Amino acid sequence: MADETGAKGAEDKTGALVIGGGPAGLMAAEVLSAAGLPVVVADAMPSVGRKFLMAGKSGLNLTKDEGLPNFLPRVSTRALDGALTGFGPAEVMAWAEGLGQPLFTGSTGRVFPKAMKASPLLRAWLARLEGQGVELRTRWRWTGWDGDACLFETPEGARLVRPRVTVLALGGASWRRLGSDGAWSGVLAADGHAVVPFRPANMGFRVDWSDHMARHFGTPVKGTRLVAGDEMSRGEWVVTAKGIEGGGVYEVSRALREGATLTVDLAPDLDVETVTARIARPRGKASLSNHLRRVLKLSPVARALLTEWGRPLPDDPARLAALIKALPVGLKGPLDMDGAISTAGGVSWEALDGLMLKARPGTFVAGEMLDWEAPTGGYLLTGCFASGKAAGEQAIGWLGRSE
């Protein structure tokens, strides 16, 4: 480490600097260090991989075990197709298993470590990086550039790092407490790089519930189909005090954010004619709610949602069946962006040559900093891995051409 000290602080030199210690940044560091470059990973938080660990709390969904023709359209931009072709679902699975993490594939094709949590995988990954000579520097907050040097605020004061090549992987603008605050966008915009405004992605939506729904807060809704424009989801979702959240909602959140209306099919495995016939069966003294429970197997929360969004319920079986098959959902807009799983927006593709900033040769961008989005369910995390790997590879190629 250099001892020079100037007005901007002590200065270091390194082969490769990765700013951001999430999945994209760590993957870039793995590629760069495997090529023999000295690599420093700088992160503003006290430890790396914080959002990655949080994502694994309910089971780390690494990827979706499906072919690229089905996988690629779930990512919002074709600009990442090349990266995903080079490091798609099969490669992610092989990589994780190479770190000693056995995997299993669920009934929907989602792939998880058998340990379910993210921590064993992250520990094994960091051990590999340490073995390849990667140096981690935490509590180092990047504040911009001084010429070709990167500026940091650190516990020891201001520091500069002058790398041969840089990968920016600073995340999006959600989950500030985990380090993704989007503050870098102002730095890049001031440096002349085009940045698209952030928008929430994989987020929940507000609902103004009536009082009778309070007893269902926290209840998962299973066995439904959500439809928003051309998007459809059979995933589970949750009724919360604020509205609706969960994987099923996140799959259609992009369409909802862009103005599509939402309907829910409470009986997705039955056609409307079958639903009509079942409703028309004699119910005797049973209430309508109990009748629907008996003939359609509707859960208590599904019946509550039907009453909430369909009242007054029609007496005619055909009209009631049509409502059950396409129940309009009253939404009041997305929940706060900081509570979103991820964000759209970020560095514009127009500012990039591949993944390199056109106006700052030798600086590459990866992960959620880029203007793209994908649903949870393995798509989002795979995209981060793939873009980090591609950024590292492109950085190595650039070094080979420029030196």
Please check whether residue 163 lies inside any domain of the structure: yes
Neighbouring C-beta atoms of residue 266, cutoff 10 Å: 24
Is 70 exceeded by the pLDDT of residue 360?
yes
pLDDT at 8: 62
Do 296 and 323 reside in the same domain of the chain? yes
C-beta separation of 250 from 341 below 8 A:
yes
CATH code, domain with 112: 3.50.50.60
Q: Which of 328, 362, 389 corresponds to the end of one domain?
A: 328
Is 80 exceeded by the pLDDT of residue 7?
no
Task: Give the contacts of 291 (CB within 8 A, at least 6 positions apart).
Answer: 279, 281, 283
Is 50 exceeded by the pLDDT of residue 198?
yes
C-beta separation of 323 from 309 below 8 A:
no
Write the DSSP assignment of 159-197 as a string of letters. Answer: EEEEEEEEEE----SS-GGGT---THHHHHHHTT--EEE
Please check whether residue 334 lies inside any domain of the structure: no
Please check whether residue 88 lies inside any domain of the structure: yes
321 bridge partner residues:
none
Do 218 and 321 reside in the same domain of the chain? yes
The percentage of residues in the chain with a pLDDT greater than 70, rounded to a whole number, is 98
Do 105 and 183 reside in the same domain of the chain? yes
Q: Which of 304, 328, 352 corresponds to the end of one domain?
A: 328
Six-digit token string for 300: 């208590």
Q: Which of 57-61, 137-141, 302-306 has the lowest mean pLDDT?
A: 57-61
Do 296 and 383 reside in the same domain of the chain? no
Give the C-alpha distances (Å, rounded to integers) separating 276 from 93, 152, 282, 289: 45, 66, 12, 15
Q: Which of 276, 298, 328 corresponds to the end of one domain?
A: 328
Q: Which of 51-60, 121-130, 207-216 has the lowest mean pLDDT?
A: 51-60
Do 161 and 306 reside in the same domain of the chain? no
Task: For residues 9-38, give the mean pLDDT.
Answer: 95
Do 156 and 297 reside in the same domain of the chain? no
Instruction: Quote the number of domains for the chain.
Output: 2
Q: State the average pLDDT for the chain.
A: 95
H-helix or E-strand spanning residue 401: helix 379-402
Do 123 and 171 reside in the same domain of the chain? yes
pLDDT at 151: 97
pLDDT at 157: 96
Neighbouring C-beta atoms of residue 91, cutoff 10 Å: 17
Please check whether residue 336 lies inside any domain of the structure: no
Tokens 């961008």: give the residue. 365
- What are residue 208's phi and psi, to 5 degrees? -90, 95
- What are residue 268's phi and psi, to 5 degrees? -70, -15
Task: For residues 211-238, give the mean pLDDT.
Answer: 96
C-beta separation of 74 from 374 below 8 A:
yes
Domain span holding position 389:
5-200+344-402
For 246-269, the pLDDT digits (tens) are: 999 999 999 999 999 999 999 999
Task: Give the contacts of 370 (CB within 8 A, at least 6 positions apart).
Answer: 79, 80, 346, 347, 349, 355, 387
pLDDT band at 216 (very low <50, low <70, confident <90, very high): very high
Please check whether residue 373 lies inside any domain of the structure: yes
Do 43 and 131 reside in the same domain of the chain? yes
Q: How open is the CA angle 332-183-146, to the nearest 5 degrees?
A: 160
Please check whether residue 115 lies inside any domain of the structure: yes
Please check whether residue 122 lies inside any domain of the structure: yes
Six-digit token string for 70: 């089905």
Do 211 and 309 reside in the same domain of the chain? yes
Q: How open is the CA angle 194-181-25, to the nearest 5 degrees?
A: 75
Nearest to 92 by CA among 106, 103, 81: 103
Do 286 and 353 reside in the same domain of the chain? no
Do 389 and 252 reside in the same domain of the chain? no
Tokens 């009242």: give the residue. 311
Is 70 exceeded by the pLDDT of residue 5?
no
C-beta separation of 104 from 114 below 8 A:
yes
Task: For residues 191-201, give the mean pLDDT.
Answer: 96
249 bridge partner residues:
none
For 139-157, the pLDDT digits (tens) are: 999 999 999 999 999 999 9
26, exposed or middle or buried, with CB in 10 Å at 0-12, 13-18, 19+? buried
pLDDT band at 191 (very low <50, low <70, confident <90, very high): very high
Task: For residues 157-173, give the mean pLDDT.
Answer: 97
Do 20 and 138 reside in the same domain of the chain? yes
Is 50 exceeded by the pLDDT of residue 1?
no
Is 90 exceeded by the pLDDT of residue 111?
yes
pLDDT band at 55 (very low <50, low <70, confident <90, very high): confident
pTM for the whole thing? 0.92
Please check whether residue 333 lies inside any domain of the structure: no
Is 50 exceeded by the pLDDT of residue 272?
yes
DSSP state of 217: T
Is 60 exceeded by the pLDDT of residue 2?
no
Task: Give the contacts of 297 (CB within 8 A, at least 6 positions apart).
Answer: none
Give the C-alpha distances (Å, rounded to integers) separating 248 from 171, 199, 313: 23, 19, 25
For 330-353, the pLDDT digits (tens) are: 999 999 999 899 999 999 999 999
Q: Which residue has the higher pLDDT, 104 or 58?
A: 104
Is 80 exceeded by the pLDDT of residue 3?
no
pLDDT at 77: 95
The percentage of residues in the chain with a pLDDT greater than 90, rounded to a whole number, is 92
H-helix or E-strand spanning residue 141: strand 141-146
